[in-house]
Amino acid sequence: MDLPAQLAVAATPLAALWLARAGSDAVCPDLPATRAALAAVPIAALELAPPLARRIEGFGLRRLGDVLALPRASLGARLGKPFVIDLARALGEVADPQIGFVFPEHFEQSLELPAPVEAAPVLLFAARRLIAALAGWLAARNAAVRTIDCLIDHGHGRTTGVPLAFSAPVHAAARIERVLKERLDALSLSAPALALRLCARETEVREDRSHALFDGAGQRHEALAELMDRLAARLGPQAVQGLACHADHRPELASRAGPEKPALKASLPSVPSRPLWLVEPPEALRELHGRPQRAGPLVLLAGPERIESGWWDGGDARRDYFVAVDSGQRWLWIFRDPRPPGGWFLHGWFA
Amino acid sequence: MNPSLAQVLERSDIRRGDAFAVAPAPTFATGFARLDAELPGGGWPRGALTELLAEHEGIGELGLLLPALAALTAAGQPVVLIAPPHGAHAPAWAAAGIRLDCLRLVFPNRPRDALWAAVEALRCGGVAATLLWLDALFRAQLPANSLRRLQVAAGEGGGGAFFFRPSRLAAAASPAPLRLQLQAQGGSLRVTILKRRGPPARQAILLDVARPAGFLQSVPHAVAGAALPDTTGSRRRSRVAA
């Protein structure tokens, strides 16, 4: 782009601007020095509105020093109040508060690719720059994000969205990059990519702890969260699950994927033995001479335990559960449906 | 004077056939004293693959791991299950003393993804124990080098690595340093150590793994839970069966 930069230092912001525009390298640490330096600034450097500039030129004034030598009141009458106020601001006679830089609320940056990209994994190299910018933006705000939108622009208004979701707020570039890599590896582009855009809208306050010197549980859980994010990015969010108890007597509803809600923890009283594995849907078993069969007759060891629930939500269940052992000494959890047409079902394994 | 035989034998790179290695790899307790005594280092190895070859499903093969997993999760250490054969029933895991918030289940659809997920989980230093079931997804056609990959990944991560496999693979070659064969025997679990770092195990161990409460071997038919009056038919049937 070849843009030159010109610095100037003055006691007021406006004077510094004018001095810079005039191409002066002046360093004016106080007001008298600023006033002296301003005297040499040509009127053209002020970049005034053309009618006003012509007017001043018509008076035969070439430099700011000529203007400052004239009485201020009559200047105001002839050239208008705003100009006189500007003069006063430059000379430090009137306060000149500046609007501070406001950091952008949302992160949104895009990057034009130097050449169309056909393979999605290659986009990672371009994305690295955007991720580094995002990480910088997050660091400046002391924030972290749970979701990031990555948009691949194919031109002609067509885009492919690659939303990234994290199990915990993230702020580290490396971690975002690893998850994006898994998503890009699995992606095949419908059309060559021309540009890449990264957006982060909702941020959370970063919860940074100082790490313990000798490895703590925090680091371990961070590593686990990172692993889960990567697995979910490649296998799909449904493939990675937590486990939680749910207060329901129907076994298929007593267990849920996802984080445990502490409030529900104590709500189920200690139940009789339950199998570690649940066969879902229950496997129908043959019945011979009134005994359930699965590779030979099953021996019932304990039961029945009647579970009857769910008449209110359409999932009405009435079952008699038994602990059974088969000929291979495998422990099964089976139930009999007491309602017609009845029958025996395998519902779990005591593994 | 020549160095005595005892001095030579104290060298760390010399292992005598009848003893475990001098500096055994890090381990964590299995929760079964009799099994700990038979395992090098006195517990389940960390950073090494352990093969558990169960004769059948449902004989207590998970029960063998539960005490160790409960201890790990109680300390807030995460446990990851890769491609478990069925959905986990949360109340049973909670009843076994496992902190559910430390448990993660991964259900990959494709064999390739399952192997990748297994390697990633094993390599992750944050996972204290990884449980694998890969043979069903691969239809018993696990690629020849995958066991080696898993073993290397386990070494990098340094957590426990438990690979549940069908027992017909007992005779197959494996790079796993610890291989146990599991069989049911009258309500207990019969554990045969097929391979360990140390002298060959002489005999199988019988372990009382967790079995459904309410069952006592002397009383084959124990009624658990309250039954409603109209189940008398099924109760009679169960008594006949027992």
What is the value of ipTM here, to two decimals? Answer: 0.78
Distance from CA of B236 to the nearest CA of A (A): 10
Distance from CA of B128 to the nearest CA of A (A): 9
Which residues in chain B are closer than 8 Å to A328, comparing Cβ atoms? 55-56, 59, 184
Q: Is A240 touching B (CB cutoff 8 A)?
A: yes
Question: Tell me, what's the pLDDT at B12?
Answer: 59
Give dist(CA B127, CA B124) in Å, integer: 6
Question: Tell me, what's the pLDDT at A220?
Answer: 74
Q: Is B94 touching A (CB cutoff 8 A)?
A: yes
Which residues in chain B are closer than 8 Å to A271, comparing Cβ atoms? 91, 95
Question: Tell me, what's the pLDDT at A310?
Answer: 80
Give dist(CA A147, CA A152) in Å, integer: 16
Touching A: B residues 15-74, CB under 8 Å: 55-63
Q: Which of B90, B186, B225 has its CB closest to that of A244?
A: B90
pLDDT tens digits, one per residue of A229-250: 889 888 888 889 888 888 888 8
Query: Ranked by mean pLDDT, which of A34-38, A88-92, A198-202, B162-166 comes out on top?
Result: B162-166
Rounded average pLDDT per 10-residue block, chain B, 242 residues: 69 64 72 89 91 90 92 91 92 88 91 92 90 88 88 91 92 91 87 88 86 50 37 40 37
Give dist(CA A231, CA B1) in Å, integer: 62
Q: Is A236 left (phi over 0), alpha (psi -120 to 50) or beta?
A: left
In sign, the C-alpha dihedral spanning B242, A307, B100, B79 is: positive
Q: Is A250 touching B (CB cutoff 8 A)?
A: no
Question: Tell me, what's the pLDDT at B5?
Answer: 77
Are B221 and A291 in contact (CB < 8 Å)? no
3-state secondary structure of B181: strand
Give dist(CA B184, CA A137) in Å, integer: 60
Q: Chain centroid to CA A147: how far?
A: 3
Angle at which helix A31-38 crosses helix A13-21, to 10 degrees, equals: 30
Which residues in chain A are closer than 8 Å to B63, comparing Cβ atoms? 350-351
Which residues in chain A are closer than 8 Å to B104, comparing Cβ atoms? 224, 228, 240-242
Q: Is B106 touching A (CB cutoff 8 A)?
A: yes
Which residues in chain B are closer than 8 Å to A272, comparing Cβ atoms? 212-214, 224-225
Question: Tell me, what's the pLDDT at B71?
Answer: 93
